[in-house]
Amino acid sequence: MQVILNVSSETLPFSTSQVAMQAIDLLVFPRWLVPVEPAGLVLEAHALAVDGGRIVDVLPADFARQTYAARETLNLPTHVLAPGLINMHTHSAMALMRGLADDLPLMDWLHHHIWPAEGQHVSRAFCVDGVRLAAAEMIRGGTTCFNDMYFFPDATAEVAAQIGLRAMIGLLVIDFPTAWAANPDEYLRKGLEVYETIRNQPLLRAAFAPHAPYSVSDAPLKRIRELASELGLPIHMHVHETSTEVDDAVRADGRRPWARLKTLDLLGSDFIAVHMTQLSDEEIADCGLLGVSIAHCPESNLKLASGCAPIAKLVAAGANVTIGTDGAASNNDLDMFSEMRTTALLAKAISGDPRAVPAGTALRMATINGAKALGLESEIGSLERGKSADFIAVDLSPAATTPVYDVISQLVYAAGRDQVTDVFVAGRALLRDRRLLTLDEPAVLAKAAEWRNRIKP
């Protein structure tokens, strides 16, 4: 349930006339402001003050006008201001394969369609153009940070830095050769080179990204654990995505993949487990006890008929549940608003409890929970003083979101990504009044059309 706070300067316990005007970069005056922390709070008649790329204040609007002299003012009388959404699992360059092989089971889709297409077409140029296409979609949809896993992570990092989008760059590891590397040793060597290149870039971080238990053997996983602990990097991995994956592992060595990863000491508070649709009660309990984060991708799982993660049980066990879209080749979009809604509705249906994942919980999964999983909770995920100014504005004036009784419910259950009008990352505008500022959208779309003709003429 939302808690609405409406404060004017007349009710403040001090005199605003005694406060000197402070020069700052930006003042934003929305109709509503949802800081996410504390949970459920909705502020009315408040402003967001930004300077040097950071939030310097969240304060009553009247007081903001008397306290700050802003170089720019953004008035949003029908909008809600919220933290930027964090897409916790995607393969961004695969936007160029959107709709390539639909309505197939995962292993058929991978082995007979996606992997052959990747073997023929994936290159650094493919990844540059694919990430640009994905970035245009994500920015328009209110995503300000994405956790990626794909080939040529150097290309993903380059594009994200160019356009000012925050990203966790996955250092992919897989046993078999691809256009990026020939073997696990080369994947790790090249991944560490990417890490060294981006480690001092403010909007970029790195995570080890072993593909899945069925595609990465023990030796590289052991090395990844050593390196992750040494460098303080997260580990991002597909786990228990399908019943076939689990059954095949049991037939191979008598263990479920989770048990194998636990034996290898891979699981911990730095581990991000993607999908997790096939879980025993013991494995669910492990997630809470070990501090594992879950990257829940409900729409991809539904489309591939992979199963449904037991989100209500995971939350009850104390797991940090986050939300991702997966790649556009299996989803088929990068729409975090849709994923929030599906997360909440699916959890209710599976658990039989309409209270299983309330709107506010779904919003936290898409914001502060994702920040915690990435180790960035002191930087992003909520609108608080001192944090980076990563925020979005959503217009609630259209018929589809009118009238407004509960702002947070409206964001999760009714609003669409087309209602995002403005997107800022570290105080820099990436979208203003629905216009992309750091991408040449016509050029991006033209490149995508070229790749479509190459891949499926």
For 95-116, what is each residue's pLDDT tens digit? 999 999 899 888 898 889 998 9
Over range 138-145, report the average pLDDT: 99
Over range 304-332, report the average pLDDT: 96
Q: How confident is the model at residue 1 (pLDDT cuts 50, 70, 90)?
A: low
pLDDT for residue 456: 85
Dist CA 314 CA 316 (whole Å): 5
pLDDT at residue 337 tops 50: yes
Q: How confident is the model at residue 220 (pLDDT cuts 50, 70, 90)?
A: very high
pLDDT at residue 13 tops 50: no
Over range 302-318, report the average pLDDT: 96
CATH 3.90.1170.20 is held by the domain 85-357: no
Q: How confident is the model at residue 352 (pLDDT cuts 50, 70, 90)?
A: very high
CATH 2.30.40.10 segments of the chain: 3-83+380-426
CATH 3.20.20.140 segments of the chain: 85-357
Q: Which residues of 404-420 are buried (b: 16+ CB within 10 A; e: fewer)?
A: bebbbbbbbbbbebebb
pLDDT for residue 2: 65
Over range 154-173, report the average pLDDT: 98
Supply φ then ψ for residue 199, to 5 degrees. -60, -25
- The 10s digit of each residue's pLDDT in 270-296 is 999 999 999 999 999 999 999 999 999
Measured CA distances, 36 to 59, 384, 441 (Å): 15, 9, 31
Q: Calculate ∠ Cα 93-95-100, nearest 5°.
A: 120
Residue where the block lists tokens 């995508």: 448
Q: How confident is the model at residue 16 (pLDDT cuts 50, 70, 90)?
A: very low
pLDDT for residue 106: 83
Asked if residue 363 lies in contact with residue 340, where contact means CB atoms within 8 angstroms, the answer is yes
- Side by side, the strands of the sheet bearing 143-148 are 85-90, 143-148, 166-173, 204-210, 235-239, 271-275, 293-296, 320-323
Q: How confident is the model at residue 193 (pLDDT cuts 50, 70, 90)?
A: very high
pLDDT at residue 125 tops 90: yes
Q: How confident is the model at residue 4 (pLDDT cuts 50, 70, 90)?
A: low
pLDDT for residue 20: 72
pLDDT for residue 107: 85
pLDDT at residue 405 tops 70: yes
Q: Calculate ∠ Cα 148-152-156, nearest 5°.
A: 50
Looking at domain 3-83+380-426, what is its CATH homologous superfamily?
Urease, subunit C, domain 1 (2.30.40.10)
Supply φ then ψ for residue 42, to 5 degrees. -125, 120
pLDDT at residue 367 tops 50: yes
pLDDT for residue 143: 99
pLDDT for residue 8: 47
pLDDT at residue 183 tops 60: yes
